[in-house]
Amino acid sequence: MRIEDHPILGKAERGKRITLNVDGEAVAAFEGENIAAALIASGRRVFRYTAKRMEPRGVFCALGRCTDCVMIVDGQPDVRTCVTPARDGMVIQTQVSRREGEATHDLEKEKD
Ligand code: FES
């Protein structure tokens, strides 16, 4: 689900096709687009879970301000995916946000 031809902005210009690894699955993206755009285009809406209530969060502001879209990217937690360009081969994980005093952990560890 991508806008190919916008009535005001015109036809979308795309970088070369790349692949992201998201929670172990291959997700198609285009070089230069942000990670969040690629994930939304692939149908993903949940990017992280809150620490206290494990509530799902996804893109909210899309400006890099709210942190609702943070994920673990190449082992780095708290990456704002709405303002981070996608690169071929990136490993991205859904993030379970930190509880106070705890290190960030991912869903796989949460399941154990
Ligand atoms: S959606 Fe708000 S920082 Fe990314």
- Ligand 1 atom nearest to 36, measured from its CA: 4
Verify whether ligand 1 is closer than 6 Å to residue 45 (CB atom). no
Verify whether ligand 1 is closer than 6 Å to residue 69 (CB atom). yes
Res. 112: pLDDT tops 50: no
Verify whether ligand 1 is closer than 6 Å to residue 71 (CB atom). no
Angle (nearest 5°) at CA 83 between 79 and 86 = 80
Verify whether ligand 1 is closer than 6 Å to residue 89 (CB atom). no
Q: What is the pLDDT of residues 86-101, one digit of tens each?
A: 999 999 999 997 665 5
Q: How far is the CA of 11 from the centre of ligand 1 (A)?
A: 25
Give the pair of three-digit tokens for residue 41: 């285009």
Q: How far is the CA of 38 from the centre of ligand 1 (A)?
A: 14
Task: Map residue 41 onto helix, strand or coil.
Answer: helix
Q: How confident is the model at residue 104 (pLDDT cuts 50, 70, 90)?
A: low
Please give the pLDDT value at position 37. 95
Arithmetic mean of pLDDT, 45-57? 94
Q: In percent, how much of the chain has pLDDT > 90?
A: 72
| β-strand pairing of 95-96 with 48-49 | parallel
Give the pair of three-digit tokens for residue 57: 């969060």
Verify whether ligand 1 is closer than 6 Å to residue 62 (CB atom). yes
Q: Say which residue, 33 or 111, is predicted with more confidence.
A: 33
Regarding the domain delimited by 16-95, which CATH topology (the fold level of the hierarchy) does it fall under? Ubiquitin-like (UB roll) (3.10.20)
| In the chain, where the domains are located | 16-95
